[in-house]
Amino acid sequence: MPEVISTRRLGMRPITVAAALLCGLLSAPAVANERAELERLRGTTLNLIKLLVDGGLLSQDKAEQLLKQAQQDAAPADAASAQQAAPAPATAGAPRGGVIRVPYVPESLRNQMRDEIKQEVLNQARSERWGEPGALPAWARRINFEGDVRFRLQSEDWDRRNVSAAEGEGLAFQNDAAYEGPIAWSPDLTNTQDRRDRMTLRARFGLTSDLAFGFKTGLRLSTGNAQALSTSQTLGGSNGNFSKYSVLLDRAWIQWTPHQPDVTATVGRFSSPYFGGDLIWPDDMNFDGVAVKATHAFNDANKVFVNAGAFPLSEFQSDAADAWLYGAQVGAIFKPDASSQFDIGLGYYDFNNIEGNFDPMYRDTANTFSAADKSYLSSEYKKAVRQRGNTLIRINQPVAAAGSATAVAPVWGLASKFRPLTLSAAYNHQGFEGLSMRISADFIHNTGFSQADIRRRAQPGANIDLAKKTNAWQARAQIGSTKQELLGDWSAYLGWRRFERDAWVDAFTDTTWHLGGTNYVGWTLGGAYYVGPRTSLGLRLTSTRNLTDGRTETLSDGAEVPNLSSIRQRVDVLQVELNSRF
């Protein structure tokens, strides 16, 4: 009895099986008792191919190519058979004249083979999307799109008892040409009492693509402006009157993850590579440069990791004047059980060459700005970048050249060096009925602050006496649905923060807390409810006030006024927003 051989045992692809069947049928010897069965099998195979074409699962071109290939494969066998003068006597079980005999195929086996071929071809057709109108090529199917749109109502309610910037004393006058003081804290602050209500819009669209050999790439566009933390557009802002808004390159990166060892390298512009809360690196901030992450897993639950990166902050024609950020972090992930996880990370950052340096060569008018030397050009803490809170030192001459009564507007640089040490920890718990809880804490200590070093870099002879304010703390608790994407999902959170003025570079701080910057203490309370799939309605209230140390400044008329590290500044920020993402 002939052996029953299925296509699965042969390990052949459906098209290969069909071609082999056609080849065998076209080259089979015309034996009377077998020909009828073979013709029936040939007809079944041809009908199956026609059915696939009619159903849109196999294109007509592929079908014709399949038949043509089968005929070509059968031709040599037919020619060899026709040229034989007399076949040699056949021995038992041996083929005659080199021609492979097709044994009798029972009806049950033919049905089984037909069903297997049909199923495998259907599966291949689905995976390769045969006959589907507008089907994308393979490279396009590896691209994933993502994006989000956020509409926000924001109210910034300054306390009426705050010291008014319009009074000038200790505030706006720090940017006036008449001001000759060597130190400032928030020279750009103009509003401390007036309430502001506005609407903002944020739109982001990005894509990622998985490439071969461990490579991956992505990019994202967003609204906002060129500043590091701005992704929202104030409606009615810019030129107003329904003017269009700018779209900027928010991210563009290439990533490589080899199979072994467990290392990931990323270059370009990308999200924060470091673990921690938004006290350290705000959610909207991206990094330029290169980052590497290495992980070692002890088992499925526990592992350690190292993050490191180098990021240019400003680039000049002279390499000696360039400013860089270098950062390294070590951490661990520990899962005591299936529902709990602990994360911890210890980091150290060096904001290299960003501190201010007094420049005696700076000229008395803007027309001779180019005469300033490289130290001045590299150490200015530009108005477009800084927010508020850090201690600033004047890095240009406070008056015009000798013999001139024309004053010069102050130019500011960072007083402290910034080499912060950070510690972040978080506990995650997956509770019952789809709820989860997260408790996190972050700490910053700036090891780069030195009053002696500040005096050395400041204006010679300046009276500089600074309090050491170099620490920051944050605690946050959140509870809610685990997935955060379906109708009815929700979350609620409560956070507290204390941010001393020289703990961190104020340019890289969250813009909701105290409307950006350092030197404040306060709390935040908020939550979100999903009114549809991936669409949520959120509410957040953040209340902060300035930290004070009781210090004053003496004006030219002898009056003592609080400096900007001590004046009263309190603000409540209310945000109501609708988020949608895809």
Please state, in angstroms and rounded to a whole number, the distance separating the CA atoms of residues 549 and 109: 92
- pLDDT at position 450: 96
157 in Cβ contact with 195 (< 8 Å): yes
Please state, in angstroms and rounded to a whole number, the distance separating the CA atoms of residues 520 and 549: 12
Confidence of residue 132 (pLDDT cuts 50, 70, 90): low
Closest CA to 151 of 86, 91, 234: 234
- pLDDT at position 27: 47
Q: Is the pLDDT of residue 113 over 90?
A: no
Q: What is the mean pLDDT of the chain?
A: 82
Q: Region 69-84: what's the mean pLDDT? A: 59
Q: Positive or negative CA dihedral for 275, 276, 277, 281? A: negative
Confidence of residue 469 (pLDDT cuts 50, 70, 90): very high
How many Cβ atoms sit within 10 Å of the Cβ of residue 72? 12
3-class DSSP state of 471: strand
Q: Which of 112-126, 207-221, 247-261 has the lowest mean pLDDT?
A: 112-126
Q: CA-CA distances (angstroms) from residue 348 to 21, 78, 276, 284?
A: 69, 78, 12, 21
Q: Is the pLDDT of residue 3 over 50?
A: no
Confidence of residue 196 (pLDDT cuts 50, 70, 90): very high
- pLDDT at position 47: 75
Query: Which class for 59: exposed (0-12), middle (13-18), buried (19 or more C-beta within 10 A)?
Result: middle
- pLDDT at position 202: 95
pLDDT digits (tens, 9 = 90+) for 337-359: 989 999 999 999 999 999 999 88
Please state, in angstroms and rounded to a whole number, the distance separating the CA atoms of residues 496 and 437: 17
Q: Is the pLDDT of residue 306 over 50?
A: yes
Confidence of residue 57 (pLDDT cuts 50, 70, 90): low
Q: Is the pLDDT of residue 513 over 60?
A: yes
pLDDT digits (tens, 9 = 90+) for 555-582: 666 667 666 677 788 999 999 999 999 9
Q: Which of 162-171, 494-503, 567-576 has the lowest mean pLDDT?
A: 162-171
86 in Cβ contact with 96 (< 8 Å): no
pTM recorded for the entire structure: 0.76
Q: Is the pLDDT of residue 90 over 60?
A: no
Give residue 155's identity as a one-letter amino acid code: S
- pLDDT at position 391: 93
pLDDT digits (tens, 9 = 90+) for 151-162: 999 999 999 888
Distance spanning both ends of the chain, measured CA to CA: 61
- pLDDT at position 464: 87
- pLDDT at position 177: 74
Fold of 147-581: Porin (2.40.160)
Q: CA-CA distances (angstroms) from residue 36 to 19, 32, 109?
A: 20, 7, 16
538 in Cβ contact with 576 (< 8 Å): yes
Confidence of residue 171 (pLDDT cuts 50, 70, 90): low
In the chain, % of residues over pLDDT 90: 48
Residue matched to tokens 């390298």: 265
Compare 549 and 83 and report the one with higher pLDDT: 549
Helix (H) or strand (E) holding 59: none
Q: Region 248-257: what's the mean pLDDT? A: 96
Q: Is the pLDDT of residue 146 over 50?
A: yes
DSSP string, 209-231: EE-STTEEEEEEEESS-SSTT--
Please state, in angstroms and rounded to a whole number, the distance separating the CA atoms of residues 495 and 498: 11
- Domains of the chain, by residue range, sit at 7-83+99-131, 147-581
Q: Region 245-249: what's the mean pLDDT? A: 90
Please state, in angstroms and rounded to a whole number, the distance separating the CA atoms of residues 469 and 466: 9
- pLDDT at position 495: 98
Q: Is the pLDDT of residue 278 over 50?
A: yes
Please state, in angstroms and rounded to a whole number, the distance separating the CA atoms of residues 408 and 366: 9
